[in-house]
Structure 1
Amino acid sequence: MDDETFWNLIESCRRRTPDPDERVEWLAGELARCAEPEILRFQMCLERVLNPTFTWELWAAADRIMGWCSDDSFFYFRLWLVGSGRDTFERVARDPDALAELPEVVRLVGRGREHWDDEEWLAWEELDYAALRAFTRVTGRSECDFYDAVDAQRGADFGSLDPAGERWDARDDAEAGRRLPRLSGMFPVS
């Protein structure tokens, strides 16, 4: 699976429904029409596509919006960004402050995070399981078999364990105002 095929699947999925669970189910169904190697390539493509978003700058942007962002929640945020489509994904990967233009982000402004509905959180963890679901349907093998197969495809190159760029505190208003001027104005530190 190449990047173009990957993004076409994501776009088709995105147009089907806004419901993330339905989107993952549709995506898993589409992948289940593929042979095992293609399903594994989808997962590898997802991992490869995510690489440019593994930056401290984007992590700070997510942290600024959500008030706090752990390793896991940053990963789920990046998966949500994939689900937003290629154009949005690439624009935000280049300029994390561009998140300020997204309707999903704008509708959160001025509302306490305790009032956000589950669907409003900028996270799509389930995307990481679409290929797994397809794999188990097609092969009848286990989750462990899937991850073993992905590891075998991936080889020794796991990518960096640390985000790219310089780490900084998104709660520092002066620094955030310089680096993420629009987001820092939209999401002041409480």
Structure 2
Amino acid sequence: MDLNAFWALLERSASETSGQDRRLEWLVTALSSTASSAEEAVEFALRLDEVRRRVDTWAHWQAADVICGGLCSDDGFFYFQAWLAGQGRAVFESVAKNPDALADLPHVRHLASRGGVHAWADDDWPAWEGLDYVAAEAFDGDLEAVLAARGLEVLVSPEPVGERWDFADPAEIAARVPRLGALFGKVA
């Protein structure tokens, strides 16, 4: 599975189903129903890791933290990365280039209009933990052992790169993610 096939599979899951749980079921079925399902599952895990690493930066974590009202832990950011991949290739590429592009997403705008995280339903959070388990569920055996035997390792938590700064500093928010900061009332 190359990157184009990965994106096609993710986007097809969104067009053929609705909701994260149904998408996950669809993805597991799609990955486990081919003659080369074991290899497809391994490749899916590797492509998700490859995509995730592109947004594993302090800049992206700050953007997620602004959206999540300062409640974006390492797990929260890890699941945010998966959620971002679930938005599809075009959205992902836009945000990978510029985290402030998250301000253009209808879901993010909806979250901003809700008046804070305390008003969000569980399903509103920009997180998709289940995507991390798709490959393992589709794989018949121990996926981690197969990856290790091949000398491969996928992220199990964020390892952000780039410059780190104070996420709560309004000046930093205004300088780095001004549209998100304005949308969520973090900057004037």
Q: Scaled by the length of structure 1, what TM-score is found?
A: 0.89
Q: Does 1:98 align with 2:101?
A: yes
Instruction: Specify which of 125, 135, 138 is matched with residue 129 of structure 2.
Output: 125
Q: Does 1:169 align with 2:166?
A: yes
Question: Unaligned stretches of 5+ in structure 2?
Answer: none
Match of 1:44 in 2: 46
Runs of 4+ in 1 over 2 A off after TM superposition: 150-158
Q: Scaled by the length of structure 2, what TM-score is found?
A: 0.90
Match of 2:152 in 1: 155
- Matched to 1:164, the amino acid is V
Deviation at 1:132, TM superposition (A): 1.0
Distance 1:149 1:12 in 2: 27
Question: Unaligned stretches of 5+ in structure 1?
Answer: none
What SS is found at the alignment partner of 1:109? Answer: helix
Deviations 1:64-99 (A, max 9, x none): 110221111101000000000000001001000000
Structure 1 residues 156 and 126 mapped into 2: Cα distance closer, same or farther (>3 Å)? closer
Distance 2:89 2:151 in 1: 23
Match of 1:134 in 2: 138
Map 1:1-190 onto structure 2 (within 5 A). Answer: 1-34=1-34, 35=36, 36-67=38-69, 68-110=71-113, 111-135=115-139, 139=140, 141=141, 145-155=142-152, 162-189=159-186
Give identity over the alignment, percent.
44
Number of residue-to-residue matches in the alignment: 182
Q: CA RMSD in A?
A: 1.9
Structure 1 residues 28 and 5 mapped into 2: Cα distance closer, same or farther (>3 Å)? same
Structure 1 residues 150 and 117 mapped into 2: Cα distance closer, same or farther (>3 Å)? same
Distance 1:175 1:117 in 2: 29
Distance 2:67 2:153 in 1: 34
Deviation at 1:157, TM superposition (A): 8.5
Structure 1 residues 124 and 157 mapped into 2: Cα distance closer, same or farther (>3 Å)? closer
Determine if contact 2:173/2:186 at 8 Å carries over to the other structure: no
Determine if contact 1:44/1:150 at 8 Å carries over to the other structure: no
Determine if contact 2:46/2:154 at 8 Å carries over to the other structure: no
Distance 2:49 2:154 in 1: 12
- Matched to 1:10, the amino acid is L
- Matched to 1:49, the amino acid is V
